[in-house]
Amino acid sequence: MKIMRSRNFLLLSIAFLFSGGLFAQEWTPLFNGSNLKGWKKLNGNAEFKVKDGVITGISKTNTPNTFLATEKNYGDFILEFDFRIDDGLNSGVQFRSQSLKEYNKGRVHGYQFEIDPSDRKWTGGVYDEARRGWLYPMTANPKSKNAFKNGEWNTARIEAIGNSIATWVNGIPCTNLWDDAAPEGFIALQVHAIGSKAEEGKTVSWKNIRICTANVAQLRTETTAPEVNVVPNTISPAEVRDGWALLWDGKTTNGWRGAKINAFPENGWIIENGLLKVQKSSGGEAANGGDIVTTQKFKNFIVKVDFKITPGANSGIKYFVDPDLNKGEGSAIGCEFQILDDKTHPDGKLGVKGNRTVGSLYDLIPAIASKKFDLNSFNTATVVVRDSHVEHWLNGVKVVEYERNNQLWDALVAYSKYSHWPNFGNAAEGHILLQDHGDEVWFRNIKIKAL
């Protein structure tokens, strides 16, 4: 009887270990240490040499980016390698990448683990080569910018498991990305194109390149890097656990209505390819479809909105909005995160000390001068409200911070265009608004987290 119990206990223990994901990590070398068997060169004419178990790429003038790619594709995997790079050069390691005749004449495109010895310090970030550009710059995780050691051998780890992509440099978590653009592809070593003869002959080297493809979901490493979700209009599992929810579902008008009507506007706004668009009209405030507001009110929260504007456009994201204030012409009343093409729209030169520029608390507090804004791509506006404390963030940079419900705030309002609205900005809660200012503007990834 004791023998049977011991045997059953052993079987249960084994079953528990495997069901709990305690698998041994099985590594396969991608480089045999002596030649480039299993690899092929793509796109450029830079040279790759093998010596003493090291692959070295040598920069060359008058050639585009050169890639040494695996002949085999990989889907879910854990990849590790050591790398070293000369100062002044840029490089990377492609993964889940492709080279297709029908795409830009075979141009290599896909995810890239960045190798960046410059003062920018973005090594470990994820770039989407020849496709969408930066997905996870190290501005998203500045605490890990110093993980890379210039002039030394460094160790990289990439975990690509389903939609989850995470990177480490020398054991320090760098990237935590959620994306669904490419489920598989080759791995490739990059020698970046150079711009001058002085950079010719600089090198980047790799060794100890190995991959694990078995049981990787169970071997996933926990990361402390902040997650960036680049799948439009979705909430990742980590975001769900953290309390985030979609404020717009990317497909319907659910949860939204006109600021001055009880239904969604019949004209002026369209939903197309996962974008919520304000259509071009006269350029006047709420003169076409009009502003739209959430059907719910919000008190303490973080709201994030991706937006892109056309040249010369004006718009805004408002909060603490009371649609019952201003039933006449013009926009609904609330505190506004200004959206504007500062360089060409006249509002950028009006107001006081730039308090009508992009990211500003409109007509009240100017955004900091060092803000980062790109007219040609989507930007992310974030508003954080904790009772009377409010912050504006633009593309990950805090640009405005203020306290309301005090004498200083009331004095500030008294010298603004909002002076005739009683108790402006002091409400405990309100609606969130997207503005129709008569210019074409696109919104997506509208998310909120209650605090």
- Those residues whose C-beta lies under 8 Å from the C-beta of residue 209, and which sit 6 or more positions away, are 29, 30, 31, 55, 79, 80, 81
Least confident of 151-155, 329-333, 352-356: 329-333
Residue-wise DSSP of 105-150 = GG--EEEEEEE--STT--TT-EEEETTTEEEE-GGGSGGGTT-S-T
Quickly state the pLDDT bin for 22 (edges 50, 70, 90): low
**Torsional sign, CA 31, 34, 40, 44:** positive
Same fold, 23-229 and 237-450: yes
**Rounded Cα gap, residues 282 and 290, in angstroms:** 12
Least confident of 29-43, 270-284, 379-393: 270-284
Looking at the chain, the whole-number percentage of residues with pLDDT higher than 70 is 95
Read off the pLDDT of each residue in 192-218 and give the average, rounded to a whole number. Answer: 96
Q: Distances in Å between the alpha carbon of 356 and those of 92, 329, 362?
A: 40, 20, 5
The structural domains of the chain, with segments of one domain joined by +, span: 23-229, 237-450
Please report the pLDDT score of residue 12 as a whole number. Answer: 36
* pLDDT(199) > 60: yes
pLDDT in tens, 27-82: 999 999 999 999 999 999 999 999 999 999 999 999 999 999 999 999 999 999 99
> Average pLDDT, whole number, for the chain?
93
**Rounded Cα gap, residues 413 and 114, in angstroms:** 46
Please report the pLDDT score of residue 108 as a whole number. Answer: 98
pLDDT in tens, 146-163: 999 999 999 999 999 999
Quickly state the pLDDT bin for 325 (edges 50, 70, 90): confident
CATH topology of domain 237-450: Jelly Rolls (2.60.120)
* pLDDT(235) > 50: yes
Residue with tokens 């656990």: 241
E strand or H helix at 309: strand 301-309
**Rounded Cα gap, residues 136 and 174, in angstroms:** 9
Whether the CB-CB separation of 179 and 230 falls below 8 Å is answered with: yes
Read off the pLDDT of each residue in 106-117 and give the average, rounded to a whole number. Answer: 98
Read off the pLDDT of each residue in 156-182 and give the average, rounded to a whole number. Answer: 98
Helices (H), 269-424: 407-414
Please report the pLDDT score of residue 348 as a whole number. Answer: 85
Residue with tokens 């480089």: 31
Quickly state the pLDDT bin for 329 (edges 50, 70, 90): confident
Read off the pLDDT of each residue in 341-366 and give the average, rounded to a whole number. Answer: 93
* pLDDT(11) > 80: no
* pLDDT(8) > 60: no
**Rounded Cα gap, residues 266 and 257, in angstroms:** 10
* pLDDT(15) > 70: no
Quickly state the pLDDT bin for 218 (edges 50, 70, 90): very high
Task: Provide CATH code, domain 23-229.
Answer: 2.60.120.560
